[in-house]
């Protein structure tokens, strides 16, 4: 698999997939060979021991060569601070960011619009990872349905703004756009 071409103009790549689909590993491989300064923005919050273990495993699996930034809510502010042509930024993941925004009772449409605008105009190379949650059954409670709907709206706006979109299943990427 070829990674992103560091000579190509900057732009955004959206990588979608289900839980444990291989999307994060695929996204990391996309940026590994760019030669650009690699930034990893982690949006997860360690609410419990299991999540702390997941975060530690992700960090260990990633290995050296990444500058890690933990940013559960102010994602766009962090992206703006890192938006330089010599950077490649991997955000993992947007659905955790959606959860954090919901828990903090943020204005979702406003945050999503800001991210889509940034995605369209980035000077850096940007890779956004997110869980596709809209392929299963309708959730049985209001909060879960709102989460699914928010994630779906966010994915549509980011996919429209991104130069490339991939869907990963069973570790296999399918290029959907670009």
Told to judge if 58 belongs to the known catalytic residues of this protein, a careful annotator would answer yes
Looking at the DSSP bridge assignments, the partners of residue 69 are 41
- What is the DSSP code string of 27-86? HHHHHHTS-SEEEEEE-----SHHHHHHHHHHHHHH-SS-EEEE-SS-HHHHHHHH--TT
Q: At what angle do helices 142-161 and 108-121 cross, to 10 degrees?
A: 20
| 66 and 39 Cβ atoms separated by less than 8 Å | yes
Q: Cα–Cα distances in Å, from 168 out to 62, 98, 114, 158?
A: 18, 20, 26, 16
Given the residues 39, 58, 84, 150, the one annotated as active site: 58
Q: Which residue has the tokens 């703006």?
A: 80
Catalytic residues, by residue number, are 58
């Amino acid at each position: 698999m070829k990674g992103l071409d560091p000579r190509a103009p900057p732009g955004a790549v959206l990588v979608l997939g289900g839980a444990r689909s291989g999307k994060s590993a695929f996204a990391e491989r996309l940026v590994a060979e760019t030669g650009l300064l690699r930034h990893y923005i982690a949006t997860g919050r360690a609410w419990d021991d299991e999540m702390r273990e997941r975060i530690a495993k992700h960090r260990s699996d990633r290995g050296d060569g990444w500058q890690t930034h933990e940013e559960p809510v102010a994602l766009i502010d962090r992206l703006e601070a890192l938006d330089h042509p010599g950077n490649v930024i991997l955000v993992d993941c947007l659905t955790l960011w959606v959860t954090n925004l919901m828990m903090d009772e943020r204005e979702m449409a406003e945050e999503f619009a800001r991210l889509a605008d940034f995605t369209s105009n980035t000077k850096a190379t940007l890779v956004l990872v997110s869980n596709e949650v809209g392929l299963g059954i309708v959730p049985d409670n209001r909060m879960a349905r709102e989460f699914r709907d928010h994630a779906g709206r966010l994915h549509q706006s980011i996919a429209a703004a991104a130069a490339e979109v991939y869907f990963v299943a069973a570790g296999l990427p399918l290029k959907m756009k670009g």
